[in-house]
Amino acid sequence: MVLLIDSILTAQKNCKDVVSVSEVNDPRRLIGLDSLGIGHSQYCFVNVFINAVKSSAVIFNKYYFVLTGTQIMQDILDNIAATMSARTDRGEVASYIPQLACVDPNQFGITVALPDGRIFSAGCANELFSIQSISKVFTLTLALGKLGDAVWKRVGREPSGDPFNSIVQLEHESGKPRNPFINAGAITIVDTIMMGHQPKETLAEILQFVRFIANDDSIGIDENVARSELSTGDRNASLAHFMASFGHFQNPVDQVLGTYFHHCSISMSCQQLAKAGLFLVSDGTNASTGERVVSEQRARRINSLMLMCGHYDGSGEFAFRVGLPGKSGVGGGILAIAPSKASIAVWSPGLDKIGNSKLGTEALEMLAKQTGWSVFGQ
């Protein structure tokens, strides 16, 4: 620790930035070494601190999280938003759902939510969008709460390697979906949580849960998107009927599909979505509200599934580039989790060829590089 203090103060002295809080116009750019538990009363500029410790990945990652309370995190997000705004290749919106085809692709938003309740945003972070398949994280959480490990008798835990709406593996594996995040798996999860209840009751339960974890009662379902999905959902209907032919469903197929289409039509902003993911950051507890959502072990398992399966046949590429558990949706949103550090929501409607947000992925790659938050190290 003595070497660390010497390194910081030497860097401070060399750039002639030895100052006190009262001598600087913007105190958000200062960090007190005593506030980091280093045991020294000297203040220094944030950029000086980072330059002094960045050669040590262990020290950098330990203290960088504390620094996110300063202006530096906002600067990072502003820079990412500006970079994305300048991009000309923004991908293509999901045209196979008519209501999503109407969304302006020239939008980008990002929010980072910290366990202590602080929120950082840039771009269109308050704009509502259809979270689509990101909702599968929340329905899986509900199913695990109801059935525990019995859920895995209905769906697997392996990457599919196929498009999200593929029927190929179902035929080879007797109607059991490979994981809960592909469409067939998520439809099966809906069947497990319905338990004989009507779609309205199940949807009310799902919506209540999402509002609870986001601490926001204004979250709702976009009925226009739901109707649009119902009118174009033939592929999903074929998946459901195919699985039902193996005797796997416990509820009427049409009711399961209606519930599925509606929960995919939940509308949220980046800020709401990032807050909803906080329970996966802090071992199952939403640290900003103090509420226990799932057990520590279950939170780890959900994160692992997000890392392996959250981007369908693009999950490996996302892990390679970003290195965080994440779940995408064809509405252009991505929820990413930096365990013990932050919940991140990003939205840009244009999709890549696989069906994941093109600029959202690029933005998360930039964020992971600048923060060192990848689960695989800096």
The DSSP secondary structure of 343-378, one letter per residue, reads EEEEE-S-B-TTSSBHHHHHHHHHHHHHHT--TT--
Instruction: Check: CB of residue 133 under 8 Å from CB of residue 264.
Output: yes
Catalytic residue among 330, 343, 348, 358: 330
256 counts as catalytic: no
Lowest mean pLDDT among 37-51, 70-84, 296-310, 353-367: 37-51
Mean pLDDT calculated for residue range 13-23: 43
What are the respective helix, strand and coil percentages of the chain, to the nearest 5?
Answer: 50, 10, 35
DSSP characters over 7-51: HHHHHHHHTT----GGG-S-GGGEEEGGGGTS----EEEHHHHHH
260 counts as catalytic: yes
Whole-model pTM? 0.84
**High-pLDDT (> 70) share of the chain, %:** 80
Compute the half-sphere exposure of residue 180: CA atoms within 13 Å on the CB side of its CA.
31
63 counts as catalytic: no
Residue 51, pLDDT > 50, answer yes
Q: Which class for 323: exposed (0-12), middle (13-18), buried (19 or more C-beta within 10 A)?
A: buried
Lowest mean pLDDT among 41-55, 165-179, 296-310, 311-325: 41-55
DSSP code, position 134:
G
Please report the domains of the chain, with CATH numbers, ordered by start residue: 2-67 (no CATH), 76-371 (3.40.710.10)
Instruction: Give the pLDDT band of residue 160 (cuts 50, 70, 90).
Output: confident
Compute the half-sphere exposure of residue 143: CA atoms within 13 Å on the CB side of its CA.
26
Residue 122, pLDDT > 60, answer yes
43 counts as catalytic: no
Instruction: Give the pLDDT band of residue 18 (cuts 50, 70, 90).
Output: very low
Instruction: Give the pLDDT band of residue 171 (cuts 50, 70, 90).
Output: confident
20 counts as catalytic: no
Q: How far is CA 47 from CA 6, 55, 167, 214, 364, in A?
A: 16, 14, 52, 33, 22
Which residue shows structure tokens 């103060």?
Answer: 9
